[in-house]
A and B are shown apart, each in its own frame.
Chain A
Amino acid sequence: MSTFTRGFRGRRRGEDDRLPPGQYLAEDFPVLSAGPTPHVPLDRWEFTIDTEAGQTHRWTWRELTALPYEEPAVDIHCVTSWSKLGTTWRGVSLDVLFEDVETTADYALVHSYGGYTTNLPLDDLLDGKAWIAYRYEGEDLTPSHGGPARLLVPHLYFWKSAKWVRGIRLLTEDWPGFWETAGYHNYGDPWREQRYADD
């Protein structure tokens, strides 16, 4: 009994530690969208990385899903204040996709089917920190949650994890994306509560 109690307390403390300032725990998975949901047929879907030198690396759906994948279990934090702990995904690490990409760029502008964009430093996409995710909790990623594939970069606020991801453009200068040009923070670290541009 005492063991159970200690374990229970331990888990609760753990959850508190995993909740960034100003966030609450969501049980469901709210659907946020700044526009109509694009429906991209898989035989026409592609993912590209465009370098600052003008080179394009391109993957079809079949090529992307044939690459080695990982199954990260991560906490996600939306700037509208909900967090979800221990979500599980399947996706291709950006490290795999960047293996043959030659670049000296410092910045990435992620763009999506439907026109959404978001920017982040290239370093934040590498070293096991980001994936192109196409499965969520054991199921194909639904269009409402960004399927067929979305960026997953869980250490930043979730607006950086672009739904319906289509490609990444590498830039030598930072180029603010959709929400970053409308008052939201350029970087968006939930642990430093970087919600708005002034924060």
Chain B
Amino acid sequence: MQTDHLDGNALAGPLAEIFTADVSAAVSRCATCGLTGPVAALRVYDRAPGLVARCPGCEEVVLRLVRGPDAAWLDLRGAVSLRIPLGGANPGAVATDGGAAGGG
């Protein structure tokens, strides 16, 4: 069963088209079972019309990516959050927006 999927590093290239940060280095939390782990540890099914990344704990879909000729579709419903490591930047702007939208 190890041959029917790749690991989450296979997402690095396709997602680099969309995100400036390396999302395969992010930590995701599965919306189904709560398992938290690196995106690189997801199970990626690529012999399909798109990329389907599944949780190694419960096998539910965490992330889907379809690349059309002039657009990409990204579905992150299966991820509660992504912790994306970023270099020391300006956290103030993010905190202000989050405070206003989320009530603190």
Contacts and interface: CB of A to CB of B under 8 A. Distances in A.
The answer on A and B forming one complex is yes
Interface of A: 30-37, 79-80, 115, 159, 179, 181-184, 195-198
B59 A36 contact: yes
Interface string B27-53: 000000000000000000101111010
A196 B45 contact: no
Contacts of B75: 181-182
Contacts of B68: 183, 195-196, 198
B49 A79 contact: yes
Nearest to B66: A183
The contact size tier of chain B is 20 to 34
Contacts of B45: 33-35
A184 B66 contact: yes
B17 interface: no
Contacts of B5: 36
Contacts of B72: 183
Nearest to A183: B73
B52 A34 contact: yes
B4 A37 contact: yes
B97 to A, nearest CB: 28
Given A35-B59, A198-B70, 8 more contacts: A35-B52, A36-B59, A179-B49, A182-B73, A182-B75, A183-B66, A184-B50, A195-B68
List the 3 closest A-B pairs by CB distance, nearest first: A183-B73, A183-B66, A196-B68
A184 B49 contact: yes
B8 to A, nearest CB: 15
B47 A31 contact: yes
B50 A183 contact: yes
A189 B47 CA distance: 21
Given A37-B4, A182-B66, A32 B49 contact: yes
A37 B72 CA distance: 26
B66 A34 contact: no
B71 A35 contact: no
B30 to A, nearest CB: 14
B69 interface: yes
Interface in B61-96: 61, 64, 66, 68-73, 75
A69 B15 CA distance: 46
A65 to B, nearest CB: 28
Contacts of B64: 182
Contacts of B49: 32, 79-80, 159, 179, 184
Among A35, A115, A179, A181, find the residue whose CB has the most chain B CB atoms closer than 10 A: A35
Contact of A30 (B47, B50, B70, B73): B47
B52 to A, nearest CB: 4
Contacts of B54: 35-36
Nearest to A31: B47
